[in-house]
Amino acid sequence: MFSRDQLDRYARHIILPGVGAEGQRRLLDASVLVVGAGGLGSPVLLYLAAAGVGTIHLVDDERVEASNLQRQIIHGLSAIGEAKTDSAATRIAELNPDVRVVGHGERLTSANARALVREVGLVIDGSDNFPTRYLVNDACVLESTPLVYGALSQFEGQVSVFASPSPGGRGPCYRCLFPTPPEPGSVPSCAEAGVFGVLPGIVGSLMANEALKLLLGLGTPLVGTLLHVDAADAEMRRFEIARDAACPVCGDHPSVTELIDYDAFCGLA
């Protein structure tokens, strides 16, 4: 049963074909892991919380800085210097008291990734570095947990769904698209190259859309499809991704069966 406050809050979902009361209850009972409370994590967290996703595990070991506020809209001036997990939890509590935020103010590592993924039914990766992306992907494949992926670079972004069931079996994983990391220093970070302030909102909203679709069993998720966003020219393009039978993680004969030291693997400090 819903309380009167919940009936008011979720009225537009409850009357919506494809969601309804049953779907809203599924959202309230759902548990997800969001990696990163930055540019991508901000809209993801806000929209999942507004939709009533009941439990959000949030992992981020950084503190809010003034340079974040150009794009990380979940944080404000009063949060500068505060742990991002705490700042995000405060904002979500103001937005929707139905949502429980479990903050993990630590770095995601090979030692804790699988345990965190086991706690949830869906993972959303809003990280901004290659070691974390490979780590999250591999943990999701090993734990058979769907992964919503997003990435940014200057005016462009990407969204996809990895390691999720598809009509032909399990869909591709991140390594099917990018088998090995780029050479150290070959891809500039956001701090080095910059990022258009509104782009994380666009890409993060698309990620939240995919997450809600997966939680509700609604529509056609981006399994086996990479959606490319060009904010400068207002264009979106779709690229099909095939599962790689030789993938070392999700392939027919995987060689990666445990998480590894991705900092060393990627050659990053």
pLDDT at 269: 39
Q: Is the pLDDT higher at 15 or at 186?
A: 15
For residues 16 and 22, give the distance between their C-alpha atoms in angstroms, rounded to a whole number: 11
- Percentage of residues in the chain with pLDDT exceeding 90? 83
pLDDT in tens, 132-177: 999 999 999 999 999 999 999 999 999 999 988 766 678 999 999 9
Mean pLDDT, the chain, rounded, equals 93
Q: Which two tokens stand for residue 214?
A: 């997966």
pTM for the model stands at 0.94
* pLDDT at position 185 over 80: no
pLDDT in tens, 208-231: 999 999 999 999 999 999 999 999
pLDDT at 77: 97
pLDDT at 268: 43
CATH topology of domain 12-266: Rossmann fold (3.40.50)
* DSSP at 79: G
Q: Can you list the alpha helix ranges (DSSP code H) found in 31-165?
A: 41-51, 84-95, 113-118, 130-142
Q: Which two tokens stand for residue 153?
A: 């670079």
Residue in the structure block whose two tokens are 């479990």: 102
Burial of 237 (0-12, 13-18, 19+ CB in 10 A): exposed
* pLDDT at position 16 over 70: yes
* pLDDT at position 248 over 50: yes
Report strand pairing: 156-162 vs 225-230: antiparallel
Phi, psi of 237 (to 5 degrees): -130, 145
For residues 100 and 98, give the distance between their C-alpha atoms in angstroms, rounded to a whole number: 7
Residue in the structure block whose two tokens are 């309804």: 20
- Percentage of residues in the chain with pLDDT exceeding 70? 91
* pLDDT at position 186 over 70: no
pLDDT at 164: 83
Altogether, the residues listed in the chain come to a count of: 269
Least confident of 191-200, 201-210, 256-265: 256-265
DSSP letter string over 193-234?
Answer: H-B-TTHHHHHHHHHHHHHHHHHHT-S---BTEEEEEETTTT
- With CA atoms as reference, report the closest residue to 140 among 174, 109, 168, 167: 174
Residue 180: band (very low, low, confident or very high) from pLDDT cuts 50, 70, 90: confident
- With CA atoms as reference, report the closest residue to 134 among 266, 267, 269: 266
pLDDT in tens, 39-98: 999 999 999 999 999 999 999 999 999 999 999 999 999 999 999 999 999 999 999 999
